Amino acid sequence: DIVMTQTPLSLSVTPGQPASISCKSSQSLLHSDGKTYLYWYLQKPGQPPQLLIYEVSNRFSGVPDRFSGSGSGTDFTLKISRVEAEDVGVYYCMQSIQLPRVTFGGGTKVEIK
């Protein structure tokens, strides 16, 4: 299985400041179809995960444009341009190049200072 490694484990951010989360995969997530199967989710406290970003850099419906994703191959980054109070929770990356065996990163907890 592909191992997904996220850093940092936790992040404390002042509202209005940027935040960045890294995700590294043990194998390239670039498929022969040209797509890269890397996703980002946010799990707010007491809620299920919600899809933020699909295929590295595409924001899912309704996701604010302060969230952006980038990267290629095995190295990926989620950036929040200006953190808001509603952004607290745990962020997960996920790979699905090895469908059906998707795997998740360990999560990065974001809190507000």
Partner 1 sequence: EVQLVESGGGLIQPGGSLRLSCAASGFTVSSNYMSWVRQAPGKGLEWVSVIYSGGSTYYADSVKGRFTISRDNSKNTLYLQMNSLRAEDTAVYYCARDGQLSIWGQGTMVTVSS
**Would you say 16 or 99 has its CB closer to partner 1?**
99
Shortest distance in whole angstroms from residue 10 CB to partner 1: 13
* 3-state helix vs strand vs coil in the chain, percent to 5: 5, 50, 45
Q: Do residues 36 and 56 make contact, with C-beta atoms less than 8 angstroms apart? A: yes
Distance between CA atoms of residues 81 and 111, nearest Å: 15
68 binds partner 1 (CB under 8 A): no
Q: What is the footprint of partner 1 within residues 81-100 (CB under 8 A)?
A: 92, 94, 96, 99-100
Q: Is 80 exposed, middle or buried (0-12, 13-18, 19+ CB in 10 A)?
A: buried
Binds partner 1 (CB under 8 A): choice among 24, 60, 75, 77: 60
Binds partner 1 (CB under 8 A): choice among 11, 51, 88, 112: 51
Residue ranges in contact with partner 1 by CB under 8 A: 39, 41, 47-51, 54, 60, 92, 94, 96, 99-107
